[in-house]
Structure 1
């Protein structure tokens, strides 16, 4: 099962290392992690996704909660949570037609085109992991 964890921690140097070390030392995998300061500069929020059975996820939550610098750990309900990823693609262009094809593809997936040059183009895509993977597969066919 997927777990999306929201972890409020004290904003101190080394806390990211402590959290990732806890995962590594217990042989848990972090699928994604994002850390940012909150409106209170004394705290940061980590959003961590991990995969495991119910026992493993429960263990992760307990271990995070035990850490001294942890203020709060919440397991978010995946059915009530919008999960998005940001991906920026830099694509090579071999001709002017490629630029038009990439623009069409980016528009179809709700992406934004940035930094168009003679031989490359950048596409920003914010979507679900499945949509990003599908876009990546299609753009690979253009090369």
Structure 2
């Protein structure tokens, strides 16, 4: 039997570990244990953590509340990633503590762009034209 070469999504284990790491990071940020001028007073959310298949790298997508200074905050977190690794490792039961890489989460921004596109006059006009075509076909 020929194996299908289509890319598959993350495994259940990758998803489970990613969620475990996400919760540990969120708790760490809520406690304010990472000391950096860029992080002072910032509330950082962790919408998603994607693990590599070997579970050795955790790509954490973060966004500060309000979305301000996101790049600075990500740079600060990446500067302190060894400290963060040391704090998170005891909370998760893995053979190896994952290496952390922090990125700005752009899903909210992307959703906003899609929403704006769907609300645009051009799309609305096309949808109305399609609705008119459907009525003529019913006769």
Structure with greater helix percent: 2
Structure with greater strand percent: 1
Q: Which has the larger radius of gyration?
A: 2
TM-score (norm 2): 0.36
